[in-house]
C-alpha cells in the first residue's frame, strides 16, 4: 500500500496507568501510532516498556487511561472481529483438535462454520495433515500456525502479534515470518508485531517503532521500506539496517 492509504487504526496520545490499591504503574505515556491498511509495523523495546499494553489497547482488550483509539475512523470501544490477535503462548485449547482450535474463532463469534474455508486455511498454513491432532502432538511452529489460523479465519483487516515466534528456533522462526508476510500481503492486512528479535524486526517491519520505558514512550520510528523485498534477508542493506536498529536499542536503556 502507498502512503495515501487511509489509517486502519490510530492511537492518539494514549496513556495507560495500571492502578491497584497501593500502587500505580505508568505503562504508557502519550503514545501516538497509526497503521495504514496493508502496512506492516514492528514494535521493539526493552521488557516492561509497555509493548503488550499498547497491543492490548489496539486490540480493544484494555482501555486507555487517557487518549483515544480509532479503528477505520470510529472510536474503538472493545474487541472487534476485524482485529486478530496472536499471542506468544499460542492460546490453544489442549483438548481440541487443530481443526476445532481454528474453528474456535468462529464459534466464539457465533458464526457458522464453513468447513471449506477451514480446509483452505489448513492448506494455506501447511498444517492440513495435522487437522485431527491435538496441540500437544505439534511442534512450537505448528502450534503457532494454528494460532495464526484462528485469527485469520475471521478475515481480520489488522493482525496484532505479541512476540509470536520468541520460543522458536531460527529456521522455524524465519519460515513463520515468511508465512506472516505472505498472509498479510496477499490479504492486504495491516500488522503490528511485537518482537525482541532484531533480524525479525528488520525483516518484517516497514516501520520499526522503537519504544522505551518507563513510562512507555515511542522514541523513534525507523523507516525500513526494503522490508517489502522478498530477498531482503540476504542483502547488505539488511545487515546495515540490523546494525542501525541495534545501535538505536543500545542507545536507549535496552
Ligand atoms: P512489555 O510488553 O513491553 O514487556 P507490558 O505492557 O507488559 O510491557 O508492561 C508495562 C508495564 O506495566 C510493566 O511495568 C508491567 O509490570 C506493568 N503491567 C502490565 N500489565 C499490568 C497489569 N495488568 N497490572 C498492573 N501492571 C501491569
Ligand atoms: Mg510484553
Q: Find the mean pLDDT for residues 211-232.
A: 93
For every residue of 168-212, DSSP letters joined together read S-HHHHHHHHHHHHHHHHHHT-EEEEE-S-HHHHHHH-SEEEEEE
What are the residue ranges spanned by the domains of the chain?
Answer: 1-82+157-254, 91-155
Q: Is the CB of 183 under 6 A from ligand 1?
A: no
- Which ligand does the CA of 211 lie closest to? 1
Q: Specify the pLDDT at position 254.
A: 44
Q: Find the mean pLDDT for residues 139-157.
A: 94
Ligand 1 atom 20 nearest Cα: 53
User: Is the distance from CB of 130 to CB of 82 less than 8 angstroms?
Assistant: no
Ligand 2 centre distance from Cα of residue 111 (Å): 31
User: Is the distance from CB of 102 to CB of 149 less than 8 angstroms?
Assistant: yes
Q: Is the CB of 195 under 6 A from ligand 1?
A: no
pLDDT digits (tens, 9 = 90+) for 52-105: 999 999 999 999 999 999 999 999 999 999 999 998 877 899 999 999 999 998
Q: Which atom of ligand 1 is nearest to the CA of 54?
A: 6
- Strand 40-44 to 24-36 pairing: unpaired
pTM of the model: 0.94
Share of the chain above pLDDT 70, in %: 97
27 Rama sector, left if φ>0, alpha if ψ -120 to 50, beta otherwise: alpha
Q: Is the CB of 18 under 6 A from ligand 1?
A: yes
Q: Which residues surround ligand 2, an ion (CB under 5 A)?
A: 51-52
Q: Find the mean pLDDT for residues 149-155.
A: 93
CA neighbor of 212 nearest in space, from 248, 243, 162: 248
Q: In which order are the strands placed within the sheet that holds 190-194?
A: 83-86, 158-162, 190-194, 40-44, 207-212, 217-223
Ligand 2 centre distance from Cα of residue 51 (Å): 5
Q: Find the mean pLDDT for residues 134-157.
A: 95
Q: Specify the pLDDT at position 6.
A: 76
With 80 as the cut, is the pLDDT of residue 250 above it? yes
Ligand 2 centre distance from Cα of residue 84 (Å): 17
- Which ligand does the CA of 44 lie closest to? 1
For every residue of 65-82, DSSP letters joined together read SEEEEEETTEE--S--TT
Ligand 2 centre distance from Cα of residue 121 (Å): 28
Share of the chain above pLDDT 90, in %: 87
Instruction: Give residue 252's pLDDT band: very low, low, confident or very high (50, 70, 90).
Output: low
What is the DSSP code (8-state) at residue 46? Answer: -
25 C-beta neighbours (distance < 10 Å), count = 14
Q: Specify the pLDDT at position 251.
A: 79
Q: Is the CB of 4 under 6 A from ligand 1?
A: no
Mean pLDDT of the chain: 93
Instruction: Give residue 4's pLDDT band: very low, low, confident or very high (50, 70, 90).
Output: low
Burial of 163 (0-12, 13-18, 19+ CB in 10 A): buried
Q: Is the CB of 52 under 6 A from ligand 1?
A: yes
**Facing residues of 10 across strands?**
34, 70
Instruction: Give residue 1's pLDDT band: very low, low, confident or very high (50, 70, 90).
Output: very low
Instruction: Give residue 2's pLDDT band: very low, low, confident or very high (50, 70, 90).
Output: very low
CA neighbor of 253 nearest in space, from 224, 221, 209, 219: 219
- Assigned CATH class of 1-82+157-254: alpha beta
Ligand 1 atom 5 nearest Cα: 50
At 144, give phi and psi (nearest 5°): -70, -30
pLDDT digits (tens, 9 = 90+) for 161-189: 999 999 899 999 999 999 999 999 999 99
Report the alpha-carbon distance of residue 38 to residue 70 in Å, rounded. Answer: 17
Q: What is the CA radius of gyration of the chain?
A: 18
With 70 as the cut, is the pLDDT of residue 3 above it? no
Q: Find the mean pLDDT for residues 110-120.
A: 92
In which element (H, E) is residue 118 found? Answer: helix 115-124
Amino acid at each position: 500500500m502507498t502512503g495515501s492509504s487511509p489509517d486502519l487504526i490510530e492511537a492518539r496520545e494514549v496513556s495507560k496507568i495500571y492502578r491497584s490499591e497501593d500502587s500505580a504503574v505508568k505503562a504508557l505515556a502519550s503514545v501516538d501510532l497509526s497503521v495504514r491498511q496493508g502496512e506492516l509495523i514492528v514494535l521493539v523495546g526493552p521488557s516492561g516498556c509497555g509493548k503488550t499494553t499498547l497491543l492490548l489497547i489496539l486490540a480493544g482488550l484494555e482501555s486507555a487511561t487517557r487518549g483515544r483509539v480509532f479503528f477505520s475512523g470510529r472510536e474503538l470501544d472493545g474487541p472487534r472481529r476485524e482485529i486478530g490477535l496472536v499471542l506468544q503462548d499460542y492460546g490453544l485449547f489442549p483438548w481440541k483438535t487443530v481443526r476445532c482450535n481454528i474453528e474456535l474463532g468462529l464459534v466464539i463469534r457465533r458464526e457458522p462454520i464453513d468447513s471449506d474455508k477451514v480446509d483452505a486455511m489448513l492448506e494455506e498454513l501447511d498444517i492440513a495433515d495435522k487437522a485431527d491432532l491435538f496441540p500437544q502432538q505439534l511442534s512450537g511452529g505448528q502450534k503457532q500456525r494454528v494460532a495464526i489460523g484462528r485469527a485469520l479465519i475471521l478475515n481480520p483487516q489488522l493482525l496484532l502479534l505479541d512476540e509470536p515466534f520468541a520460543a522458536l528456533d531460527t529456521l522455524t522462526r524465519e519460515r513463520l515470518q515468511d508465512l506472516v508476510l505472505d498472509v498479510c500481503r496477499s490479504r492486504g492486512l495491516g500488522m503490528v508485531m511485537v518482537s525482541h528479535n532484531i533480524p525479525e524486526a528488520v525483516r518484517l517491519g516497514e516501520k520499526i517503532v522503537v519504544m522505551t520505558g518507563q513510562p512507555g514512550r515511542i522514541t523513534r520510528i525507523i523507516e525500513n521500506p526494503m522490508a517489502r523485498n522478498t530477498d531482503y534477508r540476504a542483502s547488505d542493506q539488511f545487515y546495515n539496517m540490523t546494525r542501525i536498529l541495534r545501535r538505536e536499542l543500545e542507545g536507549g536503556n535496552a
